Structure 1
Amino acid sequence: MSGTSEGPTPATDLIQPNVTHSDATPCPGTEQIAVPAAGQTAAAAPSAPSRGGPDAPLPATGGTTPMAESAPAPAGFTGMDQQPSAAPRRPPAEPPFRSAFSAAPLAMAVVDRDGLVVSANDTFGALFGGGPEEFTGQVAADLVDLTSDPRIRQAYQQVLDGRRARLRCARRLKHPDGHPLWVQITVAPLAPESPNVLLSVADISARRELQDRLRHVQNHDPVTRLPNRTLFFERLSAALEAESYESGGSGRVGLCYLDLDGFKAVNDTLGHRVGDRLLAAVADRLTRCANEAGHGRTSVPLVARLGGDEFALLVEGSTGTEQLAELAESVLTALQAPFEISGRQLSVSASIGVVERQAAGTSATALMQAADTTLYWAKADGKARWTLFDPERNAHRMTRQALVSSLRTAVDRGEFTLEYQPLVGMDDGRLRGVEALVRWRHPRFGTLTPNRFIALAEEDGSIVPLGRWILATACRQARRWQLDHPDEPPIFVSVNVAVRQVWDSDLVADVAGVLAETGLAPHLLQLELTESAVMGSAGRPLQSLRALSDMGVRIAIDDFGTGYSNLAYLSRLPVSALKLDGSFVRGFQHEENTGENAAGQGEEHDGAAGRPSPADEVIVEAMVQLAHRLGLTVTAECVETCDQASRLRRIGCDTGQGWLYSRPVPPDRISELLGSRC
């Protein structure tokens, strides 16, 4: 090595030249030269054999070729070194690789197989604060922190042992002046025959700093300066993994997922600039809540903006639902005070979904789905509140979603069936009609009644094809009863119709087509609509009802007495029947209050179901009289006892429906009831 970087190892230890053994044949056109070892003079060095005889030219290197003994020494040479006396003596030229190693701008060190520094260049010394010779004999792995990470330590040892070709890694070191230093370390053999490896160290602090700045921009929201969705999910995944496998934590995580109530109105009316300032102010209060919640604990909840006006507070190592509830309450309290934004006082509240559970067995996606569902519950329950995740409520929601996803194709798969409940004449007990009630024979959940799926069908629009199927099936069955029992008076069939069927389909055309196809007379079909739907009818629905009435189809108002109860509508709507809601009938006395019954049943007769309700009777009697004056018939629903039936008969109800007469039954059971008294 040159004078600026001398070491105990000759230059051949840095890079091994191609060595030609004495028993090998030299390559043509090459000169085999022995490089003097340190401290060895040119005269003591062994001479290379001459390939061209006495007349061959001298090699171009700084070495010497001994002359034949019989040749006289030229003038100017001494007998000792045979050098011209007139020429000054010069030291051998430094090998080119040695100069490159010393002057390289990259910090480099030669390391032996034991991991000790053999030599280092000036840049290495400058990087680590010392002369290059100071590092000779030191453990290289300690200088560049290759032992703290087990994986890096193992890979480094494999390179030293010759079992790995290269190691490249980034490490964070401490500069001698105290500031942190990021370096990229590369360790690789000098050459296949070399016993040493070359360790190079590149300062990548500037690049790392730029990467960190870019990463911060990518992972933080520019409006609130909070972590964004990407960074939040990284932290959430890391928290779940840490709490699942580390024994030091509680093994649980908690999440408050919140959405601002009323923020859209601020954004739409005052503009996005004011909206952004409001979001930043909300973020400040949320951060303050997180810092207060983390006071005295091992960690502070992470506050992140997930997008729009949605925020999340992640609690790692949570101690239970109480901790999350306290955090949610503090957030609601912090947001109650108005915000001073651009000279205006703005108020917003928040709906918060709270989830707290074991980290093991859950995932970031599952946790966020639960939080999102709970946030929806908080909004549905009235906003400005927090709601805790409820597994049973979620199970009901999941069931609901499963039903929705399979509703549309259930008709095509033939999963629906109809049962029929008799409508019996109050005066003679004979069967006058039936109400068609749909059942869903679900392959997973069993037989479902209408209250489990009709509302879902109305929401997603599948009520239209389902309603067509019910209408056609019921009319076809009514016509079959008529043909099978020609000696009996034909019974009518009552079919429930949803308002969406009137709006989203041509109900008049559907009914006309079914009646024509089945041959059922129009007066043997009754369509039931709820009171709230009929009373609010206007425009197209009202036109459809009038067209159906003109066709001869009966129109009945179902559950009458529970909706608007605007009796003025009855005189203007094409209605032919009223069905009194069962709540009125249940207020009637079930059986006479004799002393024996009272003593035998005790408290049962102290309830509303066991005592007569004069008010209900008066209301029912008034509605029946009003209906009759308007030319309408009245059906009482939920008739369960003979006493109820007798009272309704005395009041003047035309027909009754309920378990006293029959539960909903298959079509063949209705055939048995025809001609008999119920």
Structure 2
Amino acid sequence: MDSPNLFNPHPSRDNLNFFQADSGRCYSVIPHCYAQAAYLTAAFSVENSFALAVGNPGVSLPDALREPSRPRAAKPPRPAPEHRADPETAERRHREIRLLCDSRDGLTGLYNRSSFIDQLDAAVDRRRHRRNHQFGVLLLDLDRFKIINDSLGHQVGDRLLATVGRRLQECIPPWNVVARLGGDEFAILFDPMQHPTQIGRFAEVIQRHLQQPILLGDHEIFTTASIGIALGDASYEGGKDILRDADTALYRAKIKGKGSHVVFNPAMHRQVWERLHLESDLRRAIQRQELRLHYQPIVSPTTRQILGCEALVRWQHPRLGLVSPTQFIPIAEETGLIRPIGEWVLREACTAVRKWQLMLPQGQPPFVSVNLSSHQLTQPEFTETVAAILQETGCPPSALKLELTESTIAEYAEMVIPKMKELGRRGIQLCIDDFGTGYSSLSRLYDFPIHTLKIDRSFVEGIGGSGEKLKIARAIVNLAHTLGMEAIAEGVETPEQLGVLQAWDCQLCQGYLFSQPVGEIEIEQLLLRGTIHLSPAQTLREWKRFADEIDHLAHRAGMERNGKNENGCGRGIHIA
């Protein structure tokens, strides 16, 4: 009997499924590797071949792979060929088995990086010799895997990777090649393809398949993946080239957002090159003291008194000038630099509060709001880090307000809520930022240790009209009042918006109407002044006109609901 091809890239799915079910035992090579090793007719018996394949002479062949017992009388054993004792043949067979095992990923049984690149090289070569041959590469990276791995443990992380590997095999045609390149990065070679759009449809199928919940012991895990796609063409010289372009597309998919897929185009090379330079510079920004904190006042809408500030990080790049946070914060989160940057921001903000406390007359010092990333909150030692910074700087815990988004609470509830409660017990105030744009569970909102709801600027902008955003902004203010929380409206830019927020009894406001974010010296001058003075152009007539319009709209809406005005919107507006 001829031995099968040891390097067949498309093993039987039946063999794969059969050996996965074998008594739950886990081996360090792909399951069908046992079956292929068992066919070898060399100086080794079937069991010795298996022991050699798994690299452990003490491991016995699973019962399912043992040769079926035969009646000796019916068919006597075949005499061993003379060449079995040939040491050269034995060594060659030994190398073949080792090479087979070395081509596989030990955790998932999929192809590893080196063997996958060999498959890519072959596909590139086919494309070079056959003009109409089409193929594509899909590179996949699990979103949030590091957080899952760090919080639930590496054993759960490994089981998740193995499950993802199986799911990828289940949702693509069996002749395509699936590999784990390392960490949480997987790759698929679609070869051949009928049309370039076909791989995009496969990416959508894979996304839907991976979004199904994964149950690992007591943990139900939901995951998505960012996917980069590169299509094969005659310009590629080898597999590494197309894999590089798929990686570039993956980079863009991560920027686009979780669960996205992007197809490579040549213009991405320059964008990625610039981003890599920016990342390299960002790593040295803290040591070079290039980061700055700007502060935007948070004021009372009735008295214009400055009650606090929001700390906003800025990067003064030596060559590019002031770099927007929207450019470098995503890079910091992706690379893990958000941890040292976030700690620096927290320490600087607390130091500023202590300085204000000594600088201003006796009384309650203004608070400072600091934005938190999910990467910070999910770190096990985060609460201890905050406590240490407060003690080091002398900042009162009541003067620190930490802002986190709805999405962070909902997505990482199991890890974040205990930390939120611990921070609350330490006297630190917590604020939900951009409230109304995420997916908070209102039924659980009362259970969260939240002190403040911050109304997203998109709803504040809607106050200038009479549409749905106006109603949402009013509803958020009412919700905060009902739950005994503060409401802060951000993005206030017109006296009309301020007038309506006053009428709704919104406790705090911030926006360009009062001040843009300013540096350390400017904020100290504003704090010493104590209140914000609006410009003469913001006249009393404009305020009254818009307040009357809102009162009319609220009266009409109330009449439509129950035949009488129950809102009282527009009454009691304080004109200063």
Q: Which bin holds the TM-score, normalised by the shorter protein?
A: 0.5 to 0.7
Q: Secondary structure in 1 aligned to 2:244?
A: helix
CA drift of 1:403 comes to 4.0
1:238/1:557 Cα in 2 relative to 1: closer, same or farther (>3 Å)?
Answer: closer
1:647 alignment partner in structure 2 = 500
1:408/1:638 Cα in 2 relative to 1: closer, same or farther (>3 Å)?
Answer: same
1:498 alignment partner in structure 2 = 373
Deviations, residues 513-538 of structure 1 (Å, cap 9, x unaligned) = 22222222221111111122235665
Please report the TM-score for the alignment, with normalisation by the length of structure 2.
0.54
How far, CA to CA, are the matches of 2:425 and 2:431 in structure 1?
A: 14
- Is 1:585 the counterpart of 2:477? The answer is no
Contact 2:228–2:249 (8 Å) recurs in 1: no
Please report the TM-score for the alignment, with normalisation by the length of structure 1.
0.46
How far, CA to CA, are the matches of 1:231 and 1:448 in structure 2?
A: 42
2:511 alignment partner in structure 1 = 658
For residue 435 of structure 1, the aligned residue among 310, 335, 345 is 310
1:511 alignment partner in structure 2 = 386
Q: Secondary structure in 1 aligned to 2:378?
A: helix
Deviations, residues 528-570 of structure 1 (Å, cap 9, x unaligned) = 1112223566555333322322222211111111112322323
How far, CA to CA, are the matches of 1:381 and 1:421 in structure 2?
A: 28
CA drift of 1:649 comes to 1.1
Which structure is higher in RCO with an 8 Å CA cutoff and minimum separation 6? 2
- Is 1:328 the counterpart of 2:196? The answer is yes
Q: Secondary structure in 2 aligned to 1:447?
A: strand
CA drift of 1:330 comes to 7.1
CA drift of 1:367 comes to 5.2
How far, CA to CA, are the matches of 1:371 and 1:501 in structure 2?
A: 30
Amino acid at match of 1:257: V
Could you tell which deviates more after superposition, 503-512 or 492-501?
A: 503-512
Task: Name the one with the larger helix percent.
Answer: 2
- Is 1:551 the counterpart of 2:406? The answer is no
How well do the aligned residues superpose, as a CA RMSD in angstroms? Answer: 5.2
Equivalent runs, 1:500-579 vs 2, <5 Å: 500-535=375-410, 538=413, 541-579=416-454
2:548 alignment partner in structure 1 = none
How far, CA to CA, are the matches of 1:445 and 1:657 in structure 2?
A: 29
1:62 alignment partner in structure 2 = none
Q: Secondary structure in 2 aligned to 1:458?
A: helix
Equivalent runs, 1:442-457 vs 2, <5 Å: 442-443=317-318, 445-457=320-332
CA drift of 1:646 comes to 0.9
Could you tell which deviates more after superposition, 619-628 or 471-480?
A: 619-628
1:505/1:453 Cα in 2 relative to 1: closer, same or farther (>3 Å)?
Answer: farther
For residue 467 of structure 1, the aligned residue among 339, 342, 350 is 342
CA drift of 1:504 comes to 1.2
Deviations, residues 467-502 of structure 1 (Å, cap 9, x unaligned) = 221111001112212222326752111111223323
How far, CA to CA, are the matches of 1:522 and 1:466 in structure 2?
A: 21
Contact 1:258–1:310 (8 Å) recurs in 2: yes
Amino acid at match of 2:492: V
Contact 1:637–1:656 (8 Å) recurs in 2: yes
1:116 alignment partner in structure 2 = none
1:617 alignment partner in structure 2 = 470
Deviations, residues 267-300 of structure 1 (Å, cap 9, x unaligned) = 8489x9x999x65x459xxxxxxxxxxxxxxxxx
1:633/1:309 Cα in 2 relative to 1: closer, same or farther (>3 Å)?
Answer: closer
Which blocks of at least 5 consecutive residues in structure 1 are unaligned?
1-217, 243-249, 284-304, 315-323, 337-349, 590-610
Deviations, residues 429-463 of structure 1 (Å, cap 9, x unaligned) = 12111000011233454432332233333333332
Equivalent runs, 1:591-630 vs 2, <5 Å: 611-613=465-467, 615-630=468-483
CA drift of 1:668 comes to 0.8
How far, CA to CA, are the matches of 2:426 and 2:201 in structure 1?
A: 62
Could you tell which deviates more after superposition, 555-564 or 392-401?
A: 392-401
Deviations, residues 570-607 of structure 1 (Å, cap 9, x unaligned) = 32222111111111111121xxxxxxxxxxxxxxxxxx
- Is 1:257 the counterpart of 2:110? The answer is no
How far, CA to CA, are the matches of 1:504 and 1:516 in structure 2?
A: 20
Contact 2:124–2:232 (8 Å) recurs in 1: no
1:387/1:357 Cα in 2 relative to 1: closer, same or farther (>3 Å)?
Answer: farther
1:401/1:482 Cα in 2 relative to 1: closer, same or farther (>3 Å)?
Answer: same
Which blocks of at least 5 consecutive residues in structure 2 are unaligned?
1-98, 104-109, 142-160, 205-226, 534-576
2:231 alignment partner in structure 1 = 354
- Is 1:635 the counterpart of 2:470? The answer is no
How far, CA to CA, are the matches of 1:381 and 1:651 in structure 2?
A: 37
CA drift of 1:380 comes to 10
Q: Secondary structure in 1 aligned to 2:421?
A: helix
1:578/1:260 Cα in 2 relative to 1: closer, same or farther (>3 Å)?
Answer: closer
How far, CA to CA, are the matches of 1:386 and 1:504 in structure 2?
A: 28
Contact 1:494–1:526 (8 Å) recurs in 2: yes
1:471/1:259 Cα in 2 relative to 1: closer, same or farther (>3 Å)?
Answer: closer
How far, CA to CA, are the matches of 2:260 and 2:339 in structure 1?
A: 37
1:644/1:380 Cα in 2 relative to 1: closer, same or farther (>3 Å)?
Answer: closer
1:493/1:312 Cα in 2 relative to 1: closer, same or farther (>3 Å)?
Answer: same
